[in-house]
Amino acid sequence: GEEFLSEMPSVGTHGWMCLLMILCPAASASQKTECIKLNPCKCIMEDGSGVINLAAMGDADGFLERGKPLTASGGESDPEILYSFSPCLPFSEPVEFAFECLNVAVCLVTRHQPQSGETVDFLNFGMHEDNEFSYDNISQTLTVIYPASHSSPLRTVVRFNCSSSYSVVVSRDAANPSLFQISVDSPCACPNGCKPQDVGPGTIISVVFSVTVTAYFLIGLCALNPVRTPNGIEIIPKEHIWCSLCYACVERKGRKRRKYLQHK
């Protein structure tokens, strides 16, 4: 009996260890929050905390980085590598006759400067199509993988970190040249942190008003003629302009009437 009781603590300890091993993964899984992909540019938080829209990080042309140096040239013969990244809008380089970087998300440009002259190579390092989203709620980081293509090992991994500051850090490991990594700290990486610039009703009204005012003054300059009179300078409509406008209207109605009679 004493031997049985002496073994009870060890059995209880093992039981607690097994119970913790079962409960800990369940607890960690319950804390994991996904950002469900809506399209190649946007995902919505599974817990309903908001939306992360990558369009808010780009400039007017959609670029987060454009033509930025990846490596500094150490000598005259060393190539210069530039990279461009657009989180949402596909772009092509060169614009005139793109072949490799055609409608891509990431493009690397290598400039060689041999004695015979400069040569430029373009390399597709990621596309928006079939990009993959994953979210780490502990670090508040959205990771997006941009594959170059289904058959290519080249890919770009971008980590969008929720932060009050803004910075961009790039890296490319020589041991793994097929991987290009970008780390972005931005408030726009937080759920509902930023909203992309959109053309609202106020902007549309302002544009229409500006166009109307401009057209009014242009028509006034063309159609009105200042004339000095005993009472001062008066603006008198130019007869030939108004007559031509009236003639154009009458002629247009006449053509419609003739077409109507012909069809009858």
pLDDT tens readout for residues 89-142? 999 998 777 788 999 999 999 988 776 777 889 999 999 999 999 999 999 999
| Among candidate residues 189, 212, 230, the one where a domain is terminated | 189
Across the chain, what does the average pLDDT equal?
A: 76
Q: Does position 171 have pLDDT exceeding 70, yes or no?
A: yes
Instruction: Average the pLDDT over 163-185 and give the result.
Output: 94
Q: Are residues 117 and 74 in the same domain?
A: yes
Which of 241 and 43 is assigned the larger pLDDT?
A: 43
Q: Given this model, what pLDDT does residue 27 score?
A: 41
Q: Assess if residue 205 is contained within a domain.
A: no
Which of 142 and 6 is assigned the larger pLDDT?
A: 142
Q: Are residues 139 and 243 in the same domain?
A: no
Q: Assess if residue 206 is contained within a domain.
A: no
Q: Are residues 135 and 180 in the same domain?
A: yes
Q: How confident is the model at residue 25 (pLDDT cuts 50, 70, 90)?
A: very low
Q: Assess if residue 200 is contained within a domain.
A: no
Q: Assess if residue 47 is contained within a domain.
A: yes
Q: Are residues 131 and 248 in the same domain?
A: no
Q: What is the pLDDT of residues 50-62, one digit of tens each?
A: 999 999 999 999 9
pTM of the model: 0.62
Q: Given this model, what pLDDT does residue 196 score?
A: 72
Q: Are residues 175 and 242 in the same domain?
A: no
Q: Are residues 177 and 61 in the same domain?
A: yes
Q: Does position 228 have pLDDT exceeding 70, yes or no?
A: no
Q: Are residues 42 and 136 in the same domain?
A: yes
The domain of 230 spans 222-252
Number of domains present in the structure of the chain: 2
Q: How confident is the model at residue 197 (pLDDT cuts 50, 70, 90)?
A: low
Which of 91 and 23 is assigned the larger pLDDT?
A: 91
Say how far apart CA 153 and CA 145 lie, in whole Å: 12
Q: Given this model, what pLDDT does residue 173 score?
A: 86
Q: Assess if residue 92 is contained within a domain.
A: yes
Lowest mean pLDDT among 66-70, 109-113, 148-152, 164-168: 109-113
Q: Assess if residue 128 is contained within a domain.
A: yes
Q: Assess if residue 19 is contained within a domain.
A: no
Q: Are residues 161 and 60 in the same domain?
A: yes
Q: What is the pLDDT of residues 231-258, one digit of tens each?
A: 666 656 555 555 665 666 666 656 555 5
Q: Does position 36 have pLDDT exceeding 90, yes or no?
A: yes
Which of 166 and 262 is assigned the larger pLDDT?
A: 166
| Among candidate residues 173, 189, 205, the one where a domain is terminated | 189
Q: What is the CATH number of the domain that holds 82?
A: 2.70.130.10
Q: Are residues 64 and 166 in the same domain?
A: yes
Q: Assess if residue 106 is contained within a domain.
A: yes
| Among candidate residues 142, 170, 189, the one where a domain is terminated | 189
110 φ, ψ (degrees, to nearest 5):
-110, 125
Q: Are residues 139 and 65 in the same domain?
A: yes
Q: What is the 3-state secondary structure (H, E, C) of the chain?
A: CHHHHHHHHHHHHHHHHHHHHHHHHHHHHHHCCCEEEEECCEEEECCCCCEEEHHHHCCCCCCCEEEEEEECCCCCCCCEEEEEECCCCCEEECCCCCCCEEEECEEEEEEECCCCCCEEEEEEEECCCCCEEEEECCCCEEEEEEECCCCCCCEEEEEEEECCCCEEEEECCCCCCCEEEEEEEEHHHCCCCCCCCCCCHHHHHHHHHHHHHHHHHHHHHHHEEEEEECCEEEEEECHHHHHHHHHHHHHHHHHHHHHHHHHC
Q: Are residues 119 and 232 in the same domain?
A: no
Q: Are residues 146 and 240 in the same domain?
A: no
Say how far apart CA 169 and CA 184 lie, in whole Å: 7
